[in-house]
Amino acid sequence: MADPGLSRFCLFCLVHIALLPSLCFAADPYVFYDLHVSYLTASPLGVPQQVIAVNERFPGPVINSTTNNNVVVNVWNDLDEDLLMTWSGIQMRRNSWQDGVLGTNCPIHPKKNWTYQFQVKDQIGSFFYFPSLKFQRASGGFGPFIINNRNIIPIPFAQPDGDIIIMIGDWYTRSHKALRSALDAGQDLGMPDGVIINGKGPYRYNTTLVPDGIEYETIHVDPGKTYRLRVHNVGISTSLNFRIQNHFLILAETEGHYTVQQNFTDVDIHVGQSYSFLVTMDQNASSDYYIVASARFVNESLWQRVTGVAVLHYSNSKGPATGPLPDPPNDTYDKSRPLNQAVSIRQNVSASGARPNPQGSFHYGSINVTETYVIKIVPPVQINGTLRATLNGISFVNPNTPIRLADQYKVKGEYKLDFPSRPLNRTPRIDRSVINATYKGFIEVIFQNNDTVMQSFHVDGYSFFVIGMDFGDWTEESRNRYNKWDAISRCTTQVFPGGWTAVLVSLDNVGTWNIRAENLDRWYLGQETYMKIVNPEENGETEMAAPENVLYCGALQQLSKDLTNSAVSLPRGSSKLSFCLLVAFYAMITLFS
């Protein structure tokens, strides 16, 4: 203690520095996470293999936040290849810089870390994160992402007695690198080796079908209680039927919006989709119960091993689950059952979501559509000697420089704003075509699936209204059957093979946003594009500036510097922040005078 005056001054500084954020961001608290992404040896299906773990866990830890929180996630790449983490369903308002896909971010190189920072503005719900590059999701790296309601906004059901997260997905014992090589060689991936539930293989419900020694998932519950199950299909390409023996699933939320609560015995969950179910433990616990996720829309007698089985264990259970699994849905004489289930999922228009006013009060059905996009999906084709998947005849390749970064530095030729709004009768090609979308537009997008497999489509940065879904070809006449009142708003929708799905999107979020097939193989083969939305006016709704720690690559590689010691950047484009900086400056001047 050389100078008591100086130390008093510094104490004063510290108090000020500590107080400033709480004064300035009091309404929007921060949550901090560190995600270390690395390889781990695990045997989900009884065969040792390399999986991708997060903080040495597989699946990764939950990111738990509340509406409007500022989320700071430092992602460490301990893999041997590039990495980007993406946040499926998180809208990143005006901030596609944090979206974690190649069209918006340069990759995080091996042995490097990069800090994402974004606000979960006006959102609630159940989502997940996953690595977006190089087929890595097929080896894991995923984890749940929850946005809780603020305390002042009630949820539209009694507070559940507990939250249970269930991540289901098809699984191969081959690594993501082996699967990638197969696709590069033009091969089909074939039938998955199984379905995993929370990173674990099936319970041995049948000694012929399930080998001995596989570790399975057990969900522990108490009799009489009601739990919120958040179920996510984080798999590669298989739609899964989810059901629990002797228990009903009350559907309550999907991808950020509360649904009309409905009672199901089983629900189809397509790749990339998330649901919350309320499940009451109302059985007599004469035994444990099976939790099942079985392959759907395939020949089930051939695909028997592609079934995930976990155990629901009551604290007063009298013994293990035995006997056959609960029956899968039998659609033999009713091909429209899965479609009817899908369109029965509707929004609770009187339930509050992130804001006190009911989320459904936005009368989308009476807004005029400004543009229609018909996006046609066909089976993969050979282009220039490689197998590629297309949207409207275009198989997308990512620009070397992310789109908005290229714009900012006036790098030409990285992409073209010429994605066609209708399928064109021309030779399929590999291109960098992006949708030139109009800010504040209200667009109708029709996904027409002429492929032979079920597909699901996801749009980053947005929720969309799923207003129609049917078999056959979409025509103008199909509009007469749209749901114009209580269509569910979500971010990932299924598109039946030989059918179509129509969605409405209100283009109020500036930036560049990925539109992609969630089926990992189709996405890898080029079934994606981006939508670029720029606000032509400087009215405070423009895009945020690139973060201070922005990574450079491609044509801007030379700007790249080692940022390992740079501070976490603060949110920008915020007048509140400028005000706070002014206050800080004023405080400093006062101190020094």
Q: Does 78 bind ligand NAG (CB under 6 A)?
A: no
Q: Using CB under 6 A, pick the residue from 568, 580, 583, 587 that binds ligand NAG.
A: 568
Distance of alpha carbon 180 from alpha carbon 525, whole angstroms: 10
Q: Are strands 266-269 and 257-264 parallel, antiparallel or unpaired?
A: unpaired
Closest C-alpha to 38, from 111, 106, 98: 111
Q: Does 368 bind ligand NAG (CB under 6 A)?
A: yes
Token pair for 248? 């009903």
Restricting to residues 200-239, name those near ligand NAG by CB under 6 A: 206, 208-209
Which range of residues in 184-192, 212-220, 258-266, 453-461 is near ligand NAG by CB under 6 A? 258-266
Q: Does 593 bind ligand NAG (CB under 6 A)?
A: no
Query: Which of the 8 DSSP states describes residue 22?
Result: H
Q: Does 566 bind ligand NAG (CB under 6 A)?
A: yes
Distance of alpha carbon 506 from alpha carbon 364, whole angstroms: 9
Q: Where are the alpha helices (DSSP H) in 185-333?
A: none
Name residues whose C-beta falls within 8 Å of residue 425's C-beta, 6 or more positions apart in sequence: none
Shortest distance (Å) from residue 555 CB to ligand NAG? 19
Phi, then psi, of 392 in degrees rounded to 5? 50, 40
Q: Which is nearer to ligand NAG, 138 or 533 (CB)?
A: 533
Please tell me whether residue 125 adopts helix, strand or coil conformation.
strand
Shortest distance (Å) from residue 586 CB to ligand NAG? 28
Write down the residue that tokens 């399930």 correspond to.
210
> Amino acid identity of 394?
I
Q: Using CB under 6 A, pick the residue from 223, 497, 554, 571 that binds ligand NAG.
A: 497
Q: Does 330 bind ligand NAG (CB under 6 A)?
A: yes
Helices (H) and strands (E) in the chain, counts: 6, 33
Restricting to residues 409-428, name those near ligand NAG by CB under 6 A: 417, 427
Q: Are strands 49-54 and 63-66 parallel, antiparallel or unpaired?
A: unpaired
Q: Which is nearer to ligand NAG, 450 or 478 (CB)?
A: 450
> Amino acid identity of 263?
N
Q: Using CB under 6 A, pick the residue from 383, 405, 434, 469 that binds ligand NAG.
A: 383
Q: Does 564 bind ligand NAG (CB under 6 A)?
A: yes
Query: Which of the 8 DSSP states describes residue 47?
Result: S
Distance of alpha carbon 219 from alpha carbon 166, whole angstroms: 9
Distance of alpha carbon 506 from alpha carbon 509, whole angstroms: 8
Shortest distance (Å) from residue 427 CB to ligand NAG? 6
Q: What pairs with residue 197 in β-bridges?
A: 168, 200
Q: Which is nearer to ligand NAG, 163 or 583 (CB)?
A: 163
Site size toward ligand NAG (CB under 6 A) is 49
Restricting to residues 2-61, name those near ligand NAG by CB under 6 A: none
Distance of alpha carbon 458 from alpha carbon 272, whole angstroms: 8
Which range of residues in 191-199, 256-264, 336-344, 573-581 is near ligand NAG by CB under 6 A? 256-264
Q: Which is nearer to ligand NAG, 166 or 383 (CB)?
A: 383
Sheet holding 511-517, edge to edge: 435-438, 528-534, 511-517, 455-459, 492-495
Q: Does 549 bind ligand NAG (CB under 6 A)?
A: yes
Torsional sign, CA 159, 161, 162, 163: negative
Q: Which is nearer to ligand NAG, 74 or 408 (CB)?
A: 74
Token pair for 326? 């609960």
Q: Which is nearer to ligand NAG, 284 or 361 (CB)?
A: 284
Q: Using CB under 6 A, pick the residue from 30, 39, 248, 485 that binds ligand NAG.
A: 248
Q: Does 333 bind ligand NAG (CB under 6 A)?
A: yes
Q: Using CB under 6 A, pick the residue from 38, 50, 218, 450 that binds ligand NAG.
A: 450
Q: Using CB under 6 A, pick the residue from 67, 98, 105, 113 that binds ligand NAG.
A: 113
User: How many CB atoms are closer than 10 A to CB 186?
Assistant: 13
Contact in structure between 246 and 327 (CB atoms under 8 Å): no
Token pair for 145? 């992402």
Restricting to residues 293-312, name those near ligand NAG by CB under 6 A: 299, 301-302, 304
Q: Which is nearer to ligand NAG, 139 or 238 (CB)?
A: 238
Shortest distance (Å) from residue 66 CB to ligand NAG? 7
Binding region for ligand NAG (CB under 6 A): 62, 64, 74, 113-115, 146, 148, 156, 163, 206, 208-209, 248, 250, 260-261, 263, 284, 286, 299, 301-302, 304, 324, 330, 332-333, 348, 350-351, 368, 383-384, 417, 427, 429-430, 436, 438, 450, 452, 497-498, 549, 563-564, 566, 568
